[in-house]
Each structure stands twice: as C-alpha cells, then as structure tokens.
Structure 1
C-alpha cells in the first residue's frame, strides 16, 4: 500500500517524514490553501523557492535513501502553471482536484510526456458523498493513472467504494487519522493501492507530527 503524506512545505519536516519510509510527498499548489507552496520572482523570470526543497533533496541522509515521489496538487490551474511546477519541482505525479476534463488532461499529458517528464503520472480526485459519485470515474478512465476517492464526512464507512468496477488503481483520502487504522486494514478491493493523509497528522498547517505518523505507519504495515 502506497502512503502519501500531503500538504507538506517545510524542508526539515519533509526530511523527518521521509525517514519514516513514506512513499509520496504531496505539495499543494492551490493558491487559496493554507498549505500553499509558493514561488518567488527573480530577474530571470519566475522560479521556485528552492530554499526548502533543495535542502531536502540534497540532505546527506536522503542521498542514501529512496527519495519519496513528489506529487503536485492543482485545481483548475492553467496548464502552463502546472508545467512550470513540474519542471521546477521535478514532480513525479500531477494530482488534479478541480473540474478538469479529459481533453485538458490529455493535452497536459502530451505536453509533459515524454519531452518534459517521461512517464509522469496523473491522478484525478473525485469527491465521494454517495455511491453515485463513484460512477464519475468513467469519464476519466482512459486518461489517468490513478483516482483519488476523497471520502466526504457524510459517509460512515468505505463500503461505497466496493461499487468501483474500473481498471485504474485508486487511493483513498478524506480526513484519515490515526483512529482509522482498523478501517484501513479491513478494507479490501483489488484496485485499492494507497491512502493520502494530511490535516489529521498536523501540529500546524503544513507541519506534520512525525511521532504520530510513525506510530500510525507501524500499525497499518
């Protein structure tokens, strides 16, 4: 099972979380988010603030480990902005959380792969409040590599996900916390490939509680 820790920004915190053996780090590029990862302007144009990520990626300990994949989270952003961040942050995965359609997704992939980032993966988030929401996957089934089924608070359990009969692997998110260990371990679906956690493991926006995450991972693995 892939473990994605989303909404990260601080270099030291990213490094500490990465040492736990998580698989993906999520960087939030939605401008209205509390966890927004910004860029800075320079006389050479618009470049990212590498003061955090460059420190993380060059750390001596990380050099001897498998660095987690970097997943950029976007919502209804302009394609050129997504491309810029894929290049500047060397993103491995693009997560689309807005109203993007299949045409946009196809054009984005053609722009990125193979010239800019060969083999880049694209994930589409689908908010799930009921069984009927699962059916939305069908309009994207030919264009993405993963789905992220974001379970909304109105649902008491994940049983609704049993209705998914597609061929694309999926992640589950939705305010997953340490108290959900049993739910995660008991959930079974042949295409279930991972979970995405975020705010329930924070001490402040974009700052994750390393000890809490460590304990959680030990219980679900």
Structure 2
C-alpha cells in the first residue's frame, strides 16, 4: 500500500482546486493567525465545501481553545483536526468524542522522548512527526529520520518537516510498519500558502508509483 499524502497550508481557491485534481488524501488548512499560511478572515466556506468527499479536509490549530476548534472545524465542514501545540491527551480525547479524527503533531529532534506519546495513544487517530523548532511547523527543516526506529507504538504516523523533491526518494526508503503518510508543505511552494502544482504532481507520481 502506498503512503497517504497530505498537503498542508492551503489558502487560495484556484490553488485548492488544482490540488484537488491530484486527489491528495488530506488537505490541510491552518487556523493559526501567526502562521504565514493562516487561512485568514476572507476565506470562504465554499472554497472547501465543494472538494471531493474522499479528500480529508484537515483544520490545523495551535493551542486554541476547545470551543474554537470545534466551532471553526464545524463552520468549514472539516472532520479531521491536526493539533500542533501543547494540547493534552484529554483535549484530543474530547475532540474524538465529538466525532473528529485527530492528528497530534510533535516536534522531533535527537533528544525526543517517544514515551510521552503513550498518554496520547488512546485519544488520537494519527501522530505527525515534524522537525522541532521554535515555530509550529512550516520550517522546511528535516530531522534525522533514523530516530523513528525508536517509535514502537501501534498507531500510524505521518512524517513532516522539510520533505522536498530532493529528499522524497530517501523518505520512501524508510521502513516502519506504522509509517502511514507524508505531509508536504513549504518545499512545494512558490510562496507561503501557494503550492507549486507541477512539483506536487511529480511528488504524487513518485509516492504512488
């Protein structure tokens, strides 16, 4: 089975439509105002409402209040939520109890303690491993993927952090039974939030070959 593909940080309608034609498994929209890829207040519900139902529309939040997450996700009809801050296992569990799929992101470096994930296992659907930085994702930096061998929980994960046309072939060599998908963002952009569809098309072909 080929890896699932998530493209994150979408914002512009024509770009969203062009990406939808490539049929990503997940399409991410960032509801975090400090982000360069924040969807902004002009964003229309219709921009995502008409996406094919098989694309999992994913709302990305960082340390938001529970009621905000639920309110915005429902407003835009997004059933998958990605949490990229210091959200607790209980926070994740409350969202799941309301019928959302939950992706919990963690910034990883050589000192990352995978044991902290134990408390989350029952409360999330997926983990996402990103490169640890002071920002919340979108850094374009990679971490040493060999550390993933220390991950031994039975919960699928997505890999993020600096995935690019130059290193995708290496990513596809990663062997881990719970490696579920890749999260493509900053290295596939013309500018923040505007994706290079041609680069993504080649990436999709490589991943799905």
Q: Could you tell me whether the CA contact under 8 Å between 2:60 and 2:83 is conserved in 1?
A: yes
Of 27, 33, 54, 2:46 maps to: 54
Q: Is the 8 A contact 1:145 1:168 kept in 2?
A: yes
Larger Rg: 1
2:8 is matched with which residue: 1, 6, 9? Answer: 6
**2:39 alignment partner in structure 1:** 37
Deviation at 1:207, TM superposition (A): 0.5
Secondary structure at 1:216's aligned position in 2?
helix
Deviates more, 1:158-167 or 1:129-138: 129-138
- Are residue 140 (structure 1) and residue 120 (structure 2) matched? yes
Q: Indicate the SS of the match to 1:132.
A: coil
In 2, the alpha carbon distance for the partners of 1:131 and 1:185 equals: 24
User: Aligned ranges for residues 154-169 of structure 1 at < 5 Å?
Assistant: 155=143, 157-169=144-156
1:77 and 1:56 map into 2 onto residues whose CA distance is: 21
Q: 1:211 to 1:99 in 2, by over 3 A?
A: same
Report how many residues are paired.
198
Measured against aligned partners, the alpha-carbon deviations of 1:170-200 in whole angstroms (never above 9, x if no partner) come to 0000011111122122111111100101011
How far has the Cα of 1:135 moved from its partner?
A: 2.6
**Between structures 1 and 2, the one with greater helix share:** 1
* 1:29-57 Cα distance to aligned partner (Å, 9 max, x none): 011001111346xxxxxxxx42xx51454
Distance 1:76 1:8 in 2: 20
Over 3 Å counting, the alpha-carbon distance change for 1:89 and 1:55 in structure 2 is closer
Q: TM-score, normalised by structure 2?
A: 0.88
Return the match for 1:20 from 19, 22, 33. Answer: 22
Q: Secondary structure at the residue paired with 1:179?
A: coil
When the two chains are superposed, the root-mean-square deviation of aligned CA atoms in Å is 1.8
Q: What secondary structure is seen at the aligned counterpart in 1 of 2:60?
A: strand
- Structure 2 gaps of 5+ residues are 133-140
When normalised by structure 1's length, the TM-score is: 0.83
Q: Deviations over 1:116-171 (max 9, x none)?
A: xxxx210111111025333321121111110001134473x311101111011100
* Structure 2 CA distance for aligned equivalents of residues 198 and 135 of structure 1: 27
Please give the alpha-carbon distance, in whole angstroms, between the structure 2 residues aligned to 1:166 and 1:55: 37
Q: Is the 8 A contact 1:29 1:73 kept in 2?
A: yes
